[in-house]
C-alpha cells in the first residue's frame, strides 16, 4: 500500500509541475511540458484505478485502463484530482472491517466442518467429532450428497443413538425415492398414456433416478444402474418433447460419466432452448474446463458476465476455473 501512496504523490507532483510550467513559460514550451506531465500522471493514475475496476466490476484490465486513462487525460487536471481523492478514499474504506452480526449457531457449530481436497463440480466437505444428538437432528432436514455421506459415516459411530438416527435417515430417504420410482414405473407399464402424461412420467423418473445416484445412497457400481436409468428416461422423454431441463440433466449425466464433449453439447442445447444461464453455466464451464477449451470457456464467461453471480457457490466455482 505504501507504493500506492508514492504513486499518488508522483501523480500530484507531475500534475502541479505541468500546470505551473504551462502558466510560467511560453506557450509552446509550457504547453508541451504540461502535455507530457499530464500524460504520465493520467497513465499512472489509470493503472491504479483500472486495478480497482477489475476487482469490483470484473472489467478486463486492458479496457478498464483505456477507459480510465481517457477520462483523466481528456478531462484535464480536475479529473486527475478527483481520481487521486477517490483512490485515497478507497484505500481508507478497504481497510475498515465489515460489520459482523452475532448469530447463535450453537447447534450447527457443534458439528465441526473441515475442507477436503477440492473436486470439480460439487466441492467437498466432511463432518467430524459430533458432540450430541440434537446437532445431528438439524441435518436430517436436508437431502444433499454432503448430508448423505455424513450420515453414512455416522453408521460407524460409537454412540447408539447416532447410529440409529443415521440408519433411519438413510433408510427413509432412499425408501421414499424408491417408492416413487416404483409407482411411476407401474403407471408407465400398465396403462395407455397420452403423450403429455407419458412425457411427465418419463421426466419425473429421469430426475428421481438421478437423485438416487446423485445423493450417493449406495456404492458406485450399484448406483450406476440408476444413472443409466436416468439417461434412458431422459431419452424417452425427449423423444416426445424437447425440454431444456432434460438437456441440462442429460449434460450432468454425461459429465458424471466423463463424456465431456457430449455434456457440453447438451448444455449448449439447454441454453438455446431458453434454460436460465445461471443454472446451466457452471456445468457448461466445467465441461469446457475438462475439455481444455479455455478459449470458448472465456467467451461464455464474458457473454454471460454477471448472470452467474446470483448464486454465491456457483460464482466461487466459476471464479476458480476462469
- What pLDDT sits at residue 253? 94
Return the pLDDT at 91: 62
Residues 147 and 140: their CA atoms lie apart, in Å, by: 8
Three cell numbers written together for 284: 457448461
Tens of pLDDT, residue by residue over 62-78, are 777 787 778 877 777 77
Rounded to a whole number of angstroms, the CA Rg of the chain reads 29
C-alpha cell at position 62:
486492458
Helix orientation angle between 220-240 and 195-215, rounded to the nearest 10 degrees: 160
Low-confidence ranges of the chain (pLDDT < 50): 1-2, 95-128, 309-310, 313, 321-322
Domain regions of the chain by residue span: 2-93, 242-322
For residue 299, the model assigns a pLDDT of 84
- Residue range 242-322, CATH number: 1.25.40
pTM, two decimals, is 0.55
In this structure, the number of other CB atoms found within 10 A of the CB of residue 63 comes to 12
Beta bridge partners of 113: 127
pLDDT at 127: 47
207 secondary structure, DSSP code = H
Which residues, 6 or more positions from 274, have their beta carbon under 8 angstroms from its beta carbon? 244
DSSP three-state, residue 128: strand
Closest CA to 209 of 227, 184, 197, 221: 227
Amino acid at each position: 500500500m505504501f507504493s500506492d501512496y508514492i504513486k499518488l504523490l508522483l501523480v500530484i507532483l507531475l500534475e502541479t509541475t505541468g500546470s505551473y510550467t504551462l502558466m510560467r513559460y511560453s506557450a509552446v514550451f509550457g504547453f508541451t511540458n504540461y502535455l507530457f506531465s499530464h500524460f504520465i500522471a493520467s497513465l499512472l493514475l489509470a493503472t491504479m484505478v483500472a486495478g480497482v475496476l477489475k476487482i469490483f466490476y470484473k472489467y478486463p484490465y486492458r479496457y478498464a485502463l483505456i477507459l480510465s486513462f481517457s477520462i483523466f487525460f481528456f478531462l484535464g487536471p480536475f479529473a486527475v484530482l478527483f481520481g487521486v481523492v477517490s483512490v485515497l478514499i478507497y484505500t481508507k474504506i478497504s481497510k475498515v472491517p465489515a460489520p459482523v452480526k452475532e448469530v447463535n449457531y450453537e447447534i450447527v457449530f457443534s458439528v465441526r466442518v473441515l475442507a477436503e481436497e477440492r473436486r470439480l463440480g460439487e466441492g467437498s466437505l466432511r463432518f467430524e467429532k459430533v458432540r450430541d444428538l440434537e446437532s445431528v437432528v438439524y441435518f436430517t432436514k436436508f437431502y444433499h450428497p454432503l448430508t448423505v455421506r455424513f450420515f453414512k459415516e455416522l453408521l460407524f459411530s460409537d454412540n447408539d443413538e447416532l447410529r440409529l438416527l443415521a440408519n433411519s435417515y438413510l433408510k427413509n430417504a432412499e425408501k421414499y425415492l424408491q417408492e416413487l420410482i416404483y409407482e411411476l414405473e407401474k403407471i408407465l407399464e400398465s396403462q395407455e398414456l397420452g403423450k403429455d402424461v407419458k412425457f411427465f412420467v418419463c421426466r419425473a423418473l429421469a430426475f428421481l433416478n438421478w437423485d438416487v445416484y446423485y445423493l450417493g445412497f449406495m456404492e458406485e457400481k450399484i448406483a450406476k444402474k440408476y444413472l443409466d436409468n436416468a439417461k434412458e428416461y431422459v431419452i424417452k422423454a425427449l423423444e416426445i418433447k424437447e425440454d431444456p431441463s432434460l438437456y441440462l440433466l442429460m449434460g450432468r449425466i454425461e459429465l458424471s460419466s466423463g463424456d465431456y464433449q457430449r455434456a457440453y453439447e447438451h448444455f449448449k442445447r439447454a441454453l438455446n432452448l431458453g434454460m436460465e444461464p445461471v443454472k446451466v453455466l457452471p456445468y457448461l464451464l466445467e465441461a469446457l474446463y475438462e475439455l481444455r477449451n479455455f478459449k470458448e470457456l472465456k467467451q461464455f464467461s464474458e457473454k454471460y458476465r454477471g448472470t452467474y453471480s446470483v448464486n454465491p457457490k456457483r460464482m466461487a466455482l466459476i471464479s476458480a476455473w476462469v
